[in-house]
Amino acid sequence: MEKRKKTRLDVLLVDRGLAETREKAKRAVMAGLVYSGTERLDKAGDKVFDDIPLDVKGQVLPYVGRGGLKLEKALDVFPLDVSGKIGLDIGSSTGGFTDCALQNGAQQMYAVDVGYNQLAWKLRSDDRVVVMERMNFRHATADQFKDAPDFATIDVSFISLRLMLPPLKQILKPDGVVMALVKPQFEAGKADVGKKGIVRDRAVHERVVDDMVRYFASEGFHVEGLDYSPITGGDGNIEFLLFARLTDVGGIDPTIDVPAVIDAAHAQLKKNV
């Protein structure tokens, strides 16, 4: 009997004509669109049997990473205009935020990450992207950036968002803006983080987000917008979008309603947690 052969999932998707390139195949897998029967396949590099049924459902992710969907919502709900601007992507990873910003007209993006070789080749080879790998942003200084950024995005893990603000204040242009992802699992105490690292308690979400809004204000940022991420994090956690502007004194817009945002997030996303 002939032995069944195995092939990488992303390669098989291209071979079957279900994706134009391996890069697009990976995006489809990351977006959770690839199925074999009723089973969702979530690792593009896994080797699977050549003869398994494969199906790609829905719209393929338009960015190199899921983070692009988060910035896409921020561009829609906040007064954030990146067209013709210089941006700083802190925690760039594969580059979802950078890709989304460029597709919306950003002039240049600094892609900063403590890791190495994560940024998608599409962005790595783009003249508009300044790749700054192996950089711990906590220790970043203004002289490392040829042109000061007009806006910044922050998506960091296993570290508090608070630690990003002191260096950011020295690097961002005066009156520059930031769209930061608030991740309760990295801000709450260990006692508030449940199984598999997921925070489910609404009260913990509210406390973490409220504290973060106040912290931004205390650091000289005027918090102008707050919403929830349209998708959960890769681990299933609900995350929040915070939009603020660097000012002399900081503050919180009176329209910011933390409990309402938490309620909306749980109503929309709790089923995924």
pLDDT in tens, 8-40: 999 998 888 787 778 888 888 887 888 998 888
The stretch 202-221 carries a mean pLDDT of 97
For residue 272, the model assigns a pLDDT of 55
For residue 42, the model assigns a pLDDT of 86
The structural domains of the chain, ordered by start, are 6-56 (3.10.290.10), 67-272 (3.40.50.150)
Those residues with Cβ within 8 angstroms of residue 140's Cβ, 6 or more apart along the chain or in another chain: 112, 167, 171
CB 209 within 8 A of CB 237: no
The stretch 211-228 carries a mean pLDDT of 98
Among residues 112, 108, 72, 67, the alpha carbon closest in space to that of 91 is found at 112
pLDDT digits (tens, 9 = 90+) for 125-159: 999 999 999 999 999 999 999 999 999 999 999 99
The pTM (predicted TM-score) of the whole model is 0.80
Q: 51, exposed or middle or buried, with CB in 10 Å at 0-12, 13-18, 19+?
A: exposed
Which uninterrupted H or E stretch holds 7?
A: strand 6-8
d(CA 183, CA 177): 19
pLDDT digits (tens, 9 = 90+) for 69-79: 999 999 999 99
For residue 177, the model assigns a pLDDT of 98
pLDDT digits (tens, 9 = 90+) for 159-211: 999 999 999 999 999 999 999 999 999 998 887 787 888 888 899 999 999 99
For residue 99, the model assigns a pLDDT of 96
d(CA 150, CA 50): 48
112 pLDDT more than 60? yes
93 pLDDT more than 70? yes
Please name every residue paired with 151 in a beta bridge, in sequence order, or none if there are none.
87, 177
For residue 154, the model assigns a pLDDT of 98
d(CA 110, CA 92): 9
d(CA 90, CA 70): 14
Which uninterrupted H or E stretch holds 168?
A: helix 165-171
The stretch 43-57 carries a mean pLDDT of 89
85 pLDDT more than 80? yes
For residue 65, the model assigns a pLDDT of 83
CB 210 within 8 A of CB 204: no
